[in-house]
Amino acid sequence: MPAKELIRLSGLTKTYGQGDAAFQALKGIDLSINVGEFVAVMGHSGSGKSTLMNILGCLDTPTSGVYAYENIEVQKLETNQRSMLRRHALGFIFQGFNLLARTSALENVELPLLYRGLTRGKRHEMAEKALRSVGLPDKLRNKPSELSGGQQQRVAIARAIVTNPITLFADEPTGNLDSSTTHEVMTLLTQLNREKGITILMVTHEDDVASYADRVVCLSDGNILSDTLNNRKNNK
C-alpha cells in the first residue's frame, strides 16, 4: 500500500518584523511527511527549526506558502479552526515537561480533556489508560515533585496522547534527561510510533536522539539543508 501523505509544505516562509528590521526565519520550505513517519528536525540555533515546528503545530502562521494537513490548507483557516485542529489532531511534548506542580499525574493528564465536555468519570478513565500505556499505573496520585525527571516526561507524554492525536510534536523531549532516561523515553516514543501509528515530529540537537527517527531533516538559515532516511533506526 502506498504511503499516505499527512503534511505537505510548499514554499513556506516566515518573516518577523518589517522593513530594515525584517528577519526571514523560513525561506521557502518544501516538505512532505507521511502518515506514521517519525521525523527528527535538527539545526543550530537560529536555523528555523522552532519556527517550523510552531507553524506545523498551529501555534504560529506562515507569512506565505502552503501548509496542508490532511489536504486542508491550514494557513487559510480562521483562528478558532486552527485551535480545533490543534485540540483534536495534535499532541505536544516539551523539554520542560510543563506539568502543574500542585496537581496529581492523573489530573495533569486530564487537562486536555477538559475542553471536550467529558464527564469526570470518562476523563479519569482515559487519563488512567494513558498513564498505564506509558508505564505509570502506580503513579496516578503522585505530584510532579514526587516523580523522577523520566517519570515526569512520561506523564507529559501521557497528557499528549490522551486525546488520541494523529500527530505528536516533541520539542527537545529529552533535553532535561540523563542518557539512561533519554533511552527509556525515546524507546517509548518509538513504541507509540510503531504500535499506535502516531506520526511524530521531533526537534532535537542530539544525534543519538535523532537516530531513533525514520528521517532526519536538517535546517540551516531557514532552508532545508538535507532530508535523509535514517538507517540506524533499524538497529534500535
106 in a structural domain: yes
Which 3 state secondary structure label does DSSP give 172?
coil
C-alpha cell at 157: 507524554
At 1 the three-state DSSP class reads coil
Mean pLDDT, to the nearest integer, of 132-151? 95
Question: How are strands ordered across the β-sheet holding 215-220?
Answer: 90-94, 167-171, 199-203, 38-42, 215-220, 223-229
Indicate the number of domains in the chain. Answer: 1
On whether residue 190 sits in a domain, the answer given is yes
Lowest mean pLDDT among 49-63, 109-123, 132-146, 150-164: 109-123
In a domain, 23, yes or no: no
In a domain, residue 16? The reply is no
pLDDT at 228 over 70: yes
pLDDT of residue 118: 86
Amino acid 72 reads: I
The model's pTM is 0.91
Q: Answer yes or no: is 126 within a domain.
A: yes
Q: Please give the mean pLDDT across all residues of the chain.
A: 93
Phi, psi (deg, nearest 5) at residue 5: -70, 135
Distance in angstroms (rounded) separating the CA atoms of residues 64 and 13: 5
Nearest to 169 by CA among 60, 41, 28: 41
178/222 Cα distance (integer angstroms): 30
| pLDDT, position 236 | 52
In a domain, 30, yes or no: no
Percent helix, strand and coil across the chain, each to the nearest 5: 40, 30, 35
Indicate the SS3 state at residue 197. Answer: coil
Owning domain of residue 164: 37-62+82-235
Annotate 55-66 with b (16+ C-beta within 10 A) or e (fewer).
Answer: bbbbebebeebe
- pLDDT band at residue 82, thresholds of 50, 70 and 90? very high
Strand 215-220 to 38-42 pairing: parallel
Is 69 among the domain residues? no
Q: Is residue 93 part of a domain?
A: yes
How far, in Å, CA of 203 to CA of 35, rounded? 18
CATH number for position 150: 3.40.50.300
pLDDT, tens only, 2-18: 789 999 999 999 999 98
DSSP code for 199: E
